[in-house]
Amino acid sequence: MNNSFSTLINDFLLYLKIEKNLSQNTIVSYEHDLIQFNEYLKKYFQKNEIELNDLKNLKIEIILKFFENLRNELKEKESSIARKLSAIKAFFKFLSLENLIDENYTFLILTPHFNRKLPVYLSPYEVELLLNAPDTNKLEGIRDKAILELLYATGLRVSELINLKINDINFEEKLLLVKGKGSKYRWVPFSDTAKNWLLLYYQNVRHKLNKTALADDTFFLNSKGEKFTRQGINYLLDYYSKKIGLQKKISPHKLRHSFATHLLLNGSDIRFVQELLGHSNISTTQIYTYVTNLKLREEFHKYHPHG
């Protein structure tokens, strides 16, 4: 039986896909991180291949030296180092669950503290400018207006938007069935305004763009009558942000940030926002509370007599 590190990495990735149902992006990140760790160990031990026996006897000090190398030699960010540590911990936990190692000491390594970047979001005024930027006298303008309204009304990820199917939209109940990360489904409500533009696009525009007679029922079609790419949606937002003269670069994720931040600033419960965004962990959503707390502090100092 081949128990090389490379083979074990492949077994681990299969476990993540089948047992843990993680997204492809997460699996690819873990693969990249573990391959980098494998290369470091091969150089450290001066071996062509790292075997299971090497991993069984791997001292925690060697793992720590790997992170020192990332930090001091490769100048990697603390956020990147934290992700690589997460990958290594998950890998050794997998080895332990499979009874391939006797002890797993990686839990003793503390995750590095790092300053998370606060999400960049648009003000309500900037959102209104952006939403009104498309020329709705044109077919593609109606489609773009529907896309922008839906992104802001729901906080969808760009992958969720471009993979949206006709049957995923319940116009009567104003609900979307969204397939998120890890193939997890969730219901997301949308506004009356979004509904009106979605219907206008669907009833009057989509069939005119459907030049290739698509076999599937992809909802949003580009000018060639094909499914949008991530780059296509990014280009669309970049085009309209330049059109209205916004100084900040706009992406679908910034509209997602705006959606979440505006909800919290208007008093929404964070658990509700978590459900809408499709975050599996509340800690991911909590980054938005930093933004709202900063906003509250600004308001206090601006309006309180002794502020």
* Enzyme catalytic residues: 157, 181, 253, 256, 279, 288
Tell me the two tokens of residue 19. Answer: 């047992």
End-to-end CA distance of the chain: 70
User: What does the angle CA 283 – CA 285 – CA 286 come to, to the nearest 5 degrees?
Assistant: 65
For residue 13, give the nearest of 94, 81, 67, 86 by alpha carbon: 94
Query: Per-residue DSSP letters for 226-249?
Result: SBPPHHHHHHHHHHHHHHTT-SS-
Rounded to whole angstroms, the Cα distance separating 164 from 160 reads: 6
C-alpha distances in Å from residue 178, one per residue of 167, 170, 251, 253, 255: 11, 11, 20, 16, 17
Q: Give the other-Cβ count within 10 Å of 212's Cβ.
A: 11
